[in-house]
Amino acid sequence: MDHRLHATVAMAETFYQLFVNRRAYTLQSHRPHPDTERHFYYRPKAREGQPPPALSLDIIRQHLAGKLTLGIYAINPRTQRSKWVAIDADYKNALEDLLKLQYELRQDGVEPALEKSNRGGHLWIFFERPALARECRIYIYHTALRLGLPIKGAGLPEGIEIFPRQDEIGSDQFGNAMRGPLGVHRGARDSRGWRFWFYGADYNLEEQLAYLCRLPKVTEPQLQGFITGKSLPEEFVRRTRPGIPKRYFSSPAKEFRILDYVQVRRQSGRNWIAQCPSCAQAHRDTSGDNLAISIEEPRKYLCWAGCTKEMIRNAVGRPISQKRYA
Ligand SMILES: [Zn+2]
């Protein structure tokens, strides 16, 4: 099945107005990772001496056309605001939970849009003007907790995830990206991917975008009214700079620990993310996220750009002892 569609610059402009909070972006890899068969998202690399690539209308147009798949960020670090909140649910009965949440939000006069996904979906709420990430989060956490919905984190392995996932991010941080709606998800159904639509309109780009534009947007006074006197439940406060557990440092001095040599930028799934020392030596990985280090077993680490363990060990000045191979 061919998932290519005709997409125009005008469509890309509408998408930008609805969804784009900042011009950093990610792309979904066309080929699955050989070990996990997952289609990872990566941040496109800057050419040497150039600023990092910024999202353009043409890239959005290609996303809508299905030529590439875009990931978009929730927070603009200059304002700590977002144009939207997205609630991601991907587990058994996820859709049921999203429908409950949608119903509850409608009681507040909010009109969320439900986008289909693999096992569940994404519920999107749009703001008239970008809203503080912290405030959107307070609203959704409280609504979800009132309904007794499972929320991922704080001890629960499965449940809804709320984007923005941080209250605030630093100027050098990105937070978490969402798959850009209306595009092709490369991991789904078959290797060529699958397009997921919003339930609220006919399944074509024009109708879908028109529907999203028509949806009533939440105003600032409305949001203030929803969260008066509320704060984020303590168990869901996320630390954007994860602390590295001390025990990883308490190993005998001779044993090599990659965490002694890199600065962890953030957490992604079950990994710490850092700049790859070997890439850095070659003036690559300027965005500092090529190296993934297993949180559970920090001795395991991998450079997405393909640097070998030997290259990384050389780069940090702790070459792997030749004796091991003798
Ligand atoms: Zn590398």
278 Cα to the center of ligand 1, angstroms: 5
Look at 78-87, 163-172, 192-201 and tell me which has the smallest mean pLDDT: 192-201
How far apart CA 259 and CA 129 sit, in angstroms, is 41
Per-residue pLDDT at 244 exceeds 50: no
59 Cα to the center of ligand 1, angstroms: 26
How far apart CA 81 and CA 134 sit, in angstroms, is 8
* The pLDDT of residue 9: 96
**For residue range 219-238, what is the model confidence (pLDDT) as tens digits?**
999 999 999 999 988 777 76
Strand pairing of 81-89 and 121-132? antiparallel
Is the separation of the CB atoms in 25 and 44 below 8 Å? yes
**For residue range 78-88, what is the model confidence (pLDDT) as tens digits?**
999 999 999 99
Is the separation of the CB atoms in 110 and 125 below 8 Å? yes
**For residue range 282-323, what is the model confidence (pLDDT) as tens digits?**
888 888 889 999 888 888 899 988 899 999 998 888 888 755
How far apart CA 146 and CA 74 sit, in angstroms, is 24
309 Cα to the center of ligand 1, angstroms: 9
3-state secondary structure (DSSP) of residue 222: helix
315 Cα to the center of ligand 1, angstroms: 10
3-state secondary structure (DSSP) of residue 325: helix
How far apart CA 14 and CA 118 sit, in angstroms, is 25
How far apart CA 183 and CA 236 sit, in angstroms, is 30
Would you state the torsion angle of the CA atoms of residues 311, 313, 315, 321, taken in this order, to the nearest 10 degrees? -100
